[in-house]
């Protein structure tokens, strides 16, 4: 049985007081025992939340380097040392605003795995890609480094998040059947390269304007194992409703 996961990506939102209030409310909530709940607060707050017991804490990013003269960055080893075990990598906002290449993202994945953390690897096509009908090719190429260079035992440690760029923060959600088609494509691509057993073990999350009004339908799809939630994760009631949507 694959893990059901709901992860909240707070992005660059909330001052410390508001972040602590939201954290406390989520930390004291009751969750279905079969759902893993992860939050990714801004990195400046990670250390103060890393003692959470009811929630898993993720970083929103990590450096591809292990240490040294990289002003403003932090490493996988540092995240591990403050008890973090998850980090998002390859988010489209990092790919677009920080020019992150597939190679850089792969280095981040490797660094996280080498240091005992679980990468939440994001992929997804732009609106132009979808309008040109090349969404599967684009996602395939974003996946190629991890599929060509990781062993099956490393790949099985990953969480994959499919986030169509045109659905992020826009209010436009992928139709559940379109999201399912991409999730199934990702799983089949993994099965063809490795084995069905490996592909069946990897949780694939959907992200992009996921909210209480659409999460149930999305999560009912065969290959959608949960969500990576942006805006709706900033409100504890909405986030809880999504966690309870399976
Ligand atoms: P929204 O839920 O705000 O569309 O953001 C999705 C996302 O980018 C999560 O990483």
Condensed to tens digits (0 to 9), the pLDDT of residues 112-164 reads 999 999 999 999 999 999 999 999 999 999 999 999 999 999 999 999 999 99
CA 199 to centroid of ligand 1, rounded, Å = 24
Predicted model pTM? 0.98
| Ligand 1 in reach of 231 Cβ (< 6 A) | yes
Tell which residue, 144, 164, 142, has the closest CA to residue 208. 164
Quick check: 1 pLDDT over 90?
no
Condensed to tens digits (0 to 9), the pLDDT of residues 51-75 reads 999 999 999 999 999 999 999 999 9
Chain position carrying tokens 């959608």: 224
What was the pLDDT predicted at 46? 98
Q: How many CB atoms lie within 10 A of CB 43?
A: 17
Paired tokens of 205 = 């999350």
Paired tokens of 8 = 């909240």
pLDDT category, 196, cuts 50, 70, 90? Answer: very high
Quick check: 165 pLDDT over 90?
yes
- Quote the percentage of the chain above a pLDDT of 90: 98
Residue nearest to atom 2 of ligand 1 (CA): 230
C-alpha distances in angstroms, 189 versus 27, 193, 195? 36, 6, 10
Condensed to tens digits (0 to 9), the pLDDT of residues 211-233 reads 999 999 999 999 999 999 999 99
- The alpha carbon of residue 112 and the mean position of all alpha carbons in its chain are separated, in whole angstroms, by 14
Task: Give the end-to-end CA distance of the chain in Å, rounded to a whole number.
Answer: 14
- Quote the percentage of the chain above a pLDDT of 70: 100
CA 69 to centroid of ligand 1, rounded, Å = 32
């Amino acid at each position: 049985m694959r893990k059901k996961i709901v992860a909240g990506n707070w992005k660059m939102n909330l001052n410390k007081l508001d972040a602590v209030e939201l954290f406390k409310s989520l930390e004291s909530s009751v969750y279905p025992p079969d759902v893993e709940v992860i939050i990714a607060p801004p990195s400046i707050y990670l250390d103060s939340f890393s003692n959470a017991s009811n929630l898993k804490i993720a970083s929103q990013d990590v450096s591809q380097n292990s240490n040294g003269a990289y002003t403003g960055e932090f490493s996988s080893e540092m995240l591990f040392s403050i008890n973090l075990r998850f980090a998002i990598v390859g988010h489209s906002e990092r790919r677009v605003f920080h020019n992150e290449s597939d190679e850089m993202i792969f280095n981040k994945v490797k660094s996280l795995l080498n240091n005992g953390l679980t990468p939440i690897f994001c992929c997804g096509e732009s609106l132009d890609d979808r309008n040109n009908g090349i969404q599967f090719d684009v996602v395939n190429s974003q996946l190629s480094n991890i599929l060509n260079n990781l062993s099956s035992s490393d790949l099985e440690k990953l969480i994959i998040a499919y986030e169509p760029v045109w659905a992020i923060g826009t209010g436009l959600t992928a139709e559940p059947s379109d999201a399912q088609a991409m999730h199934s494509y990702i799983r089949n691509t993994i099965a063809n390269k490795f084995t069905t057993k490996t592909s069946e073990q990897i949780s694939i999350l959907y992200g992009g304007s996921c909210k209480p009004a659409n999460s149930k339908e999305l999560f009912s799809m065969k290959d959608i194992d949960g969500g990576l939630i942006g805006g709706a994760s900033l409100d504890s009631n909405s986030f809880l409703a999504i966690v309870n949507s399976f």
